Amino acid sequence: MPEQQSTPFSADGPTGIWADFRSDTVTRATPAMRRAMAEASVGDDVYGEDPTVNALQERIAALTGKEAALFCTSGTQSNLAGILSHCQRGDEFLTGRNNHVMVNEVGGAAALGGAVPWPLEIDEQGCFTPDDVRAAVKEPDQHHPVTRLLSLENTVNGHVQSVDQIADLIAAAREHDLAVHLDGARLFNAAVAEGVGIDAYCADTDTVSLCLSKGLGAPVGTVLAGDQDSISRAFRIRKMLGGGMRQSGHLAAAGLHALDHHVDRLVEDHDRAGRIADGLRSIDGMEAVHATNMVWATPPADHHDGLVAHLEAAGILMCFWKPTLRIVTHLDVDDGHADLLVDTVGEFLGRT
């Protein structure tokens, strides 16, 4: 079991915060992870001489069944390097309308690489279909960009895309000779939920991005894995983006520790999110959708703002979006935090 952080969060985090459900990115490195970081063997990674970075890259390449891997500073940098390893300026890539590369990465692929995103409509679980992919591929015509890449995501807002779903989407992409990139920021969550290894999702992709600083609890870093040619191109792009780090083995050590100690425990986050969802549904007027380590909670519209103020006053943070709140469980959330959240909502709205 990983070591839990002490309550309240104000011990190391924001003052007065007792429970932070904003994202699984808010986790703090456990004492054991910090020791691993401090004791890591390091070298200059720009010269390829950091043994801990090399070990992490080799580990991820093996886990994904890929030829090579590249340690990046963030998921945004990893996705950008992955997309631009496949697309030239003016090329088009297909992706879900609400996928992270479409709406939450500052349009980097277009702004910095000249790659044109084409959004595909999605269902309530973030899915699109193989037919959607086929229909979006542009005809070979001088008026159209060349459709070059399909960019997938898993999980999508916590919702698992099954192994078969991903395989069918990839098959549709291959019918049109598209490359495939998978934003696997929470792929370990999907794999744990499905009871498979991450290689089951990665086998037929060209590149896959795996975040270490979300559910796995490392403070920094994402690894891009793929065939050697794609990773070689991404290596140059990472340098162009300012991602050439030096003794970054101290950061890579956190990733290795996370892979050893924090993957199997993801089921606890999923179960705890389910505990929260069940508790919220018992409160009159509350709706809740559970998806792996996320809960999407919708209070009565006329009580939304008052509930937000009540939660903030109680020192509970989440994404206070309107009309639906996002709650994310993670390494620094325990059953006590989960029950505190449900009880605090119940205090305001009253139980049925």
Residue 316 belongs to domain spanning: 9-29+265-349
In a domain, 245, yes or no: yes
CB 182 within 8 A of CB 32: no
DSSP secondary structure of 36-95: HHHT-----GGGT--HHHHHHHHHHHHHHT-SEEEEES-HHHHHHHHHHTT--TT-EEEE
Same domain, 236 and 305: no
Give the tens place of pLDDT for each residue, 219-249. Answer: 999 999 999 999 999 999 999 999 999 999 9
Nearest to 237 by CA among 45, 351, 82: 82
Number of domains in the chain: 2
What pLDDT does 16 receive? 77
Nearest to 276 by CA among 293, 301, 299: 293
Same domain, 105 and 188: yes
Domain boundary among 246, 261, 276: 261
Distance (Å) of CA 225 to CA 154, 222, 297: 15, 10, 35
What pLDDT does 17 receive? 87
In a domain, 34, yes or no: no
Give the tens place of pLDDT for each residue, 192-215. Answer: 999 999 999 998 999 999 999 999
What pLDDT does 117 receive? 97
The pTM assigned to this predicted structure is: 0.94
Same domain, 97 and 72: yes
What pLDDT does 14 receive? 52
Residue 335: which CATH number? 3.90.1150.10
In a domain, 270, yes or no: yes
Same domain, 272 and 344: yes
Residue 162: which CATH number? 3.40.640.10
In a domain, 80, yes or no: yes
Same domain, 187 and 317: no
What pLDDT does 242 receive? 95
In which residue ranges of the chain is pLDDT below 70? 1-15, 351-352
Domain boundary among 239, 261, 283: 261
Domain boundary among 216, 235, 261: 261
